[in-house]
Amino acid sequence: MEKSKVILGGIVSVIVNVLLFVLKFWAGMATGSIALVADAWHTLSDSISSIIIIIAAKLASRRADKEHPFGHGRWEYIASLFVAFFLIIISYDFLKNSIIQFNDNIRVEYGTLAIVVTVISIALKELLAQYAFYIKRKTGDLSIEADAWHHRSDALSSVVVLIGIFLAKWFWWIDSALGAIIAVIIFYTSYKIIKTSVTKLLGEEPGHDLIDRITNEIKSMYNEELDVHHFHMHNYVLHKELTFHIKLDGNMSIEKGHEIATAIEDMIKEKFDIVATVHVEPLGYFH
C-alpha cells in the first residue's frame, strides 16, 4: 500500500512535469527567453527522476527471495542517490551558466507571457513538492523525499527567473547572482540526500528514542538489570534487523538464558515490528 502511494506520486509528477515542459518551452521560444528554455529542460529532468522513483518503488516492493532474503527495500536508497546526482548536475549547470552570464554582461529580458508561465510553474512545482513531502511523511520513503526536493529546486529556479523579470531593469547582474545562490542551495540539498542514503546503506546506530523504548520494555519484563547495550540496526526498509547484547548471571543455564533472549526477541517483533537477535554475555564480562 505504501509503495503504491510512492508510485502514484511518481506518475502525477511525470504528467505535470511533461505538461510544464511543453508550456515553458513554448513560452521561451515565443519570447526568445533563453532562461525559460533552460528552465523547461530542468523541469523535464524532474520527469526522468520521477520515472526512476517509480521503477525503484516497483523493485523495492518485491518479496524477499533466495538471493535477497531481506527483500529489495534498499532500492529506495539507491534511487535517492540517482536523484541526488541529478540535482548535483543541475546545480553545476546553474552555477556555470550564472558565471558565464555574469562575465558576458548579459541582461535578461522577459515579456508578459514569461511572467504568467513562470508564476504557473512556481505554483504547480511547489504543490508537487508538498505532495511528495506528504507521501514521504506517510511512507518514510527517502527516494520520494529526494524527488520532492527536486520539485522544489525547479520551483526555486523559476523564482530566480521571476525575480530577474522585475529587477533586471535596475540590476543587470541580479539573474546571475541569484542563479549562483540557488545552485549552492541545490548542491547542499544533494549532499544531505547522499549523506542520509549512504549512512543507511552502510548501517547505522538506531535512534536514541527507539533504544530507550526497547530498554524500558525489557525492564518491564525483567526486574533484574540486564545491562542492555551494543545496539546495531540493519535497515532494509521493508525489513529491519536489530542486534544487541544483554548480560545475565554466569551461573544461569544455557536453556534459561535462551528463554530470556527469545522472549525479548518476540516482544520486539510484536511491539516494534523489528527482527531482533540478542547476544547473551555473563555478568562482569567486558569487550
Place 1 in a pLDDT band, splitting at 50, 70 and 90: very low
Pick the more confident residue, 8 or 65: 8
The neighbour count for residue 43, using CB atoms within 10 Å, is 27
- Kindly report the backbone phi and psi dihedral angles of residue 44, in degrees, each rounded to the nearest multiple of 5, phi listed first: -65, -30
Q: Does this model's pTM top 0.75? A: no
The neighbour count for residue 120, using CB atoms within 10 Å, is 15
- Which range is least confidently modeled, 46-60, 165-179, 188-202, 273-287? 46-60
Instruction: Examine residue 244 and state whether it is found in any structural domain, yes or no.
Output: yes
Shared domain check, 191 and 212: no
- Which range is least confidently modeled, 50-59, 252-261, 274-283? 50-59
Which of 3-7, 86-90, 104-108, 171-175 has maximum average pLDDT? Answer: 86-90
Shared domain check, 278 and 194: no
* Helix boundaries (H) for the chain: 2-31, 34-60, 75-103, 112-139, 142-167, 174-202, 208-221, 254-272
Q: Are 178 and 160 within 8 A, CB to CB?
A: yes
What is the residue-wise DSSP string for 4-33? HHHHHHHHHHHHHHHHHHHHHHHHHHHHT-
- Which range is least confidently modeled, 18-32, 192-206, 242-256, 257-271? 192-206
The CATH number covering residue 244 comes to 3.30.70.1350
Q: Which residues are 48's β-sheet partners?
A: none
Domain residues for the domain of 113 are: 2-202
Shared domain check, 242 and 119: no
Place 25 in a pLDDT band, splitting at 50, 70 and 90: confident
Q: Are 278 and 245 within 8 A, CB to CB?
A: yes
Shared domain check, 23 and 165: yes
Instruction: Examine residue 287 and state whether it is found in any structural domain, yes or no.
Output: no
Place 231 in a pLDDT band, splitting at 50, 70 and 90: confident
